[in-house]
Chains A and B, each alone.
Chain A
Amino acid sequence: MDMEFSPEDLAFQQEVRDFIAENYPAELREKQDEGEEMSKEDFLVWHKILHKKGWIAPAWPVEYGGTGWTPTQRFIWSEETARADCIRLMPFGLAMVGPVIYTFGTPEQKAHFLPRILSGEDWWCQGYSEPGSGSDLASLRTTAIADGDDYIVNGQKTWTTLAQHADWGFFLVRTDKDAKQQEGISFLLIDMKSPGITVRPIITLGGEHEVNEVWLEDVRVPQSQRVYDENKGWTCAKFLLAHERTGIAGVAASKRGIEKVKAIARTEVDGDKPLLANAFFKRKVAELEVDLAALEFTELRSLAGANAGRGPGPESSLLKIKGSEIQQRLTELSLEAVGHYGAPYFRGFGEGDNEHPIGPDYAHRAAPTYFNMRKTTIYGGSNEIQRNIIAKMVLGL
């Protein structure tokens, strides 16, 4: 056991740093620094640069387009991209449906969809939750009824993140009404341009249009777009959730987040000293750093286990719980740090809007981000559900 980087690792680290410095788009950096909302194109520009370089999917097996990096190289990659504050890659294709397709998909599905996920040609969204099925996901009622070579899909999905941009969606649908809940579900890939699909925005607390309702009315879906066996969709769903949870720890991004909070607290003045010199505020920052170190080393241990042939198991629920709590505490500290300037409502920059928003740049998104990030302990299986999973799968209760 050791934490040393080998000379090869250090060379790789330098290569990554150089690549980011030379290739990260300056306009994107500027938009991020000013706290603007990102467009679809903003999300995709960095994706496409990485795809061209062959670095878009480090976690994938090499045969499907992965980089073949060692776990240490992947660790370096996530550290360096967070350090450089690179925009987050959308997880729906790369981290969610991609692994489901290369694990459970047919050769045709792999050949068609995987390259398009890698290139960014298809934007994916996730059709899981329904108005009546949140934590109790397996109670979902959207139906898919066989009709020749197709299914006819009817129902309503909700909380569908960035579905307004999506070309494709992966959906959990009920294909057997009489089976036990988990056993009657199938995993379908649906073209979002199909007739009968309606996407309606839901505006969240920060004022963002991030999530949507998706209505499906007599949507015709070829059965060849079902992944894995009929009524075995729950297997794909559980696999996907475990995958989703590891990334969700967000260690590298939270490290960067702490640096940002510290920078704010060194700028903001409290009495005759920087806010960071306030003993109470400083202690909260320090506690957060300590908890983040605990999360980081728990993730490193978990990766070592995964490297030894165990996939991400139920212990990844721990990473989700602690990771999301830390993300929320970070946004809370940012909001606390900006003081009065948490209050002005920031609309973003409209067309031809030349007036600078109220308050310092770092304050613009403090409150919206704090409000928005309440989602982290709710999505991906709420933290209460994660505790149920650990209780059952790890503690055997």
Chain B
Amino acid sequence: MDFTYTETQDMIRDTLARFLGDTYDFETRQKFINSDSGRDPAIWTALAQELGMLGAPFAEEYGGLGGGALENAIVMEELGKVIGIEPYLPTVVIAGGALKAVGGAQADAMIPEIIAGNAIIAFAYAEPQGRYDLANLRTTARKDGSGYVLSGHKSVVYAAPWATHLLVTARTGGNARDRDGVSLFLIDVNLTGIVRRDYPTVDGNRASEIYFENVAISGDALLGGEGTGLPLIEQIVDEATVAVCAEATGVMQKLHEGTLEYTQQRKQFGVPIAKFQVLQHRMVDMFMEVEQARSMTIMGTLKLELPANERMAAVSAAKAKVARGANFVGQNAIQTHGGIGITQELAIGHYFKRATMIESQFGSHDYHMDRYERIVLAD
């Protein structure tokens, strides 16, 4: 048992923090998220080619840094600190995680493209009727010769407007919500019949509604077994969920620090408002939520390797706790700032918006408490 980071992990954190400190100040971020494309592609290229950061969780034989989930968590926390919109989560954590799990020729072909910064992969899994149930799918992939024909509607696909590829969940058999019959496909974003409606999200990202209108895809787009994809999808979504917890930790830390700083400058009744005990104790409560989010992220990350039930219980415990904490820290950061907190002017409100979207990403507090109870407190 060991709760310290390795030198390499410290180095990844320091290198990334320095890079983001130089390139990702709030004004610059606001400029590019409000541009037509909504991003600065040079940052992604630099993350890949100057820092090698997109290889953090991949084995050295692919050209990666040889890390895993802990390295993903480090990168996500640093991105959280600058409310970064770089598509590391869907591309590296989720698609990269799926490719690592299936291995073989698909991994050999695609992982180097991810590491080089050439591929951006969006994760098209949510559907309008599905909420957080990964098996509740109406999108179908009908067998057609050696390939498939994809039809359906995917909701709020983050990073899709920037993507080169889509990672898609679809039903190859069974009825809606069956565990059997779910498959995972990695496809080119430009295939005929893919219709996208792109839009900005409230947290500064870009996303799309995606409609598959009888899209012909080849048989080798299938990742893993046909109809047996759900365990793999659950695994990569769990990996993504703790990665989002790590991001939340970074976001929450900045919300807390920003509030500390502001209360020491803002004067009312002739003194900095940080002198008031009622605010001091609230900021202590915020601090404790940040620390516990960090602890739960580590807990969830370390338990990703356990058998599925233990993994899911741990990830749900982590996400439930972090969701509550993000809510508490975000709302209290705004409250403590007062009127200025509800303007677009200060960074604090933008951190709050990202924290709020993280609350329900990959499942709300209630969803994860339900899942935790089904596993741990079964009758």
Residues of A whose CB lies within 8 Å of any CB of B are: 1-5, 9, 71-72, 75, 262, 273-274, 276-277, 282-283, 285-287, 289-291, 293-298, 300-301, 303-304, 308, 315, 318, 321-322, 384, 387-388, 390-391, 394-397
B376 to A286, Cβ gap below 8 A?
yes
From the candidates A287, A289, A297, name the one contacting B295 in the complex (CB within 8 A): A297
Q: List 20 A-B contacts (CB under 8 A).
A: A1-B302, A277-B379, A282-B377, A290-B369, A297-B295, A297-B296, A297-B299, A298-B291, A298-B292, A300-B1, A300-B3, A318-B291, A322-B288, A387-B280, A388-B280, A391-B284, A394-B287, A397-B260, A397-B264, A397-B274
B317 to A290, Cβ gap below 8 A?
yes
A395 to B260, Cβ gap below 8 A?
yes
How does the 8 Å CB contact mask read for B276-292 relative to A, with 1 for contact and 0 for none? 01001101110110011
Closest residue of A by beta carbon distance from B298: A297
Does residue B269 face the partner (Cβ distance < 8 Å to A)? no
A72 to B284, Cβ gap below 8 A?
no
How does the 8 Å CB contact mask read for B2-15 relative to A, with 1 for contact and 0 for none? 11111001000000
Check A1/B5 contact, CB under 8 A, given A318-B291, A391-B284. Answer: yes
Check A286/B372 contact, CB under 8 A, given A298-B295, A391-B280. Answer: yes
Contacts of B295 in A (CB 8 A): 294-298, 300-301
B302 to A3, Cβ gap below 8 A?
yes
CB distance from A310 to the nearest CB of B (A): 12
CB distance from B94 to the nearest CB of A (A): 22
Does residue B254 face the partner (Cβ distance < 8 Å to A)? no
B residues 335-351 touching A (CB-CB < 8 Å):
none
Contacts of A300 in B (CB 8 A): 1, 3, 295
CA distance A75 to B1 in the complex (A): 10
B280 to A283, Cβ gap below 8 A?
no
Contacts of A1 in B (CB 8 A): 2-6, 9, 70, 298, 302
Contacts of B1 in A (CB 8 A): 2-5, 9, 71-72, 75, 300
A391 to B281, Cβ gap below 8 A?
yes
A2 to B376, Cβ gap below 8 A?
no
CB distance from B349 to the nearest CB of A (A): 22
Most buried by A among B6, B283, B303: B283
CA distance A390 to B283 in the complex (A): 10
B376 to A289, Cβ gap below 8 A?
yes
CB distance from A264 to the nearest CB of B (A): 14
A293 to B287, Cβ gap below 8 A?
no
Q: Give 8 A-B pairs besides A293-B317, A296-B295 with Cβ atoms closer than 8 angstroms.
A: A1-B4, A2-B302, A4-B1, A293-B296, A295-B295, A301-B294, A322-B288, A387-B280
From the candidates B4, B9, B298, B377, name the one contacting A308 in the complex (CB within 8 A): B4
Contacts of A298 in B (CB 8 A): 291-292, 295
A276 to B377, Cβ gap below 8 A?
yes
Check A301/B284 contact, CB under 8 A, given A285-B377, A293-B296, A293-B317. Answer: no
Does residue B321 face the partner (Cβ distance < 8 Å to A)? yes
B260 to A2, Cβ gap below 8 A?
no
Does residue B320 face the partner (Cβ distance < 8 Å to A)? yes
Contacts of A301 in B (CB 8 A): 3, 294-295, 298
B299 to A391, Cβ gap below 8 A?
no
From the candidates A5, A283, A308, A322, name the one contacting B369 in the complex (CB within 8 A): A283
CA distance A297 to B301 in the complex (A): 12
- The tally of residues in B whose CB lies under 8 Å from a CB in A reads 39
A315 to B317, Cβ gap below 8 A?
no
B283 to A391, Cβ gap below 8 A?
yes
CA distance A300 to B1 in the complex (A): 10
CB distance from B340 to the nearest CB of A (A): 20
Closest residue of B by beta carbon distance from A391: B280
CA distance A388 to B314 in the complex (A): 32
Check A2/B296 contact, CB under 8 A, given A274-B379, A395-B260. Answer: no
A294 to B280, Cβ gap below 8 A?
no
CA distance A303 to B3 in the complex (A): 9
How does the 8 Å CB contact mask read for B40-82 relative to A, with 1 for contact and 0 for none? 0000000000000000000000000000001000000000000
Does residue B144 face the partner (Cβ distance < 8 Å to A)? no
B288 to A318, Cβ gap below 8 A?
yes
Does residue B373 face the partner (Cβ distance < 8 Å to A)? yes
Check A387/B281 contact, CB under 8 A, given A1-B298, A290-B321, A290-B372. Answer: yes
B317 to A2, Cβ gap below 8 A?
no
How does the 8 Å CB contact mask read for B358-379 relative to A, with 1 for contact and 0 for none? 0000000000010011001101
Contacts of A295 in B (CB 8 A): 292, 295
How does the 8 Å CB contact mask read for B299-334 relative to A, with 1 for contact and 0 for none? 100110000000000100100110000000000000
CB distance from B157 to the nearest CB of A (A): 30
Contacts of B6 in A (CB 8 A): 1
A395 to B379, Cβ gap below 8 A?
no
Closest residue of A by beta carbon distance from B276: A397
B373 to A397, Cβ gap below 8 A?
no
From the candidates A5, A290, A303, A390, name the one contacting B284 in the complex (CB within 8 A): A390
Closest residue of A by beta carbon distance from B366: A283
Contacts of B321 in A (CB 8 A): 290-291, 293-294
CB distance from B149 to the nearest CB of A (A): 43
CA distance A384 to B285 in the complex (A): 11
Q: Which 7 A-B pairs give the minimum distances between C-beta atoms? A: A304-B3, A297-B295, A391-B280, A294-B292, A298-B295, A72-B1, A387-B284
Contacts of B287 in A (CB 8 A): 318, 390, 394-395
B280 to A397, Cβ gap below 8 A?
yes
Closest residue of A by beta carbon distance from B317: A290
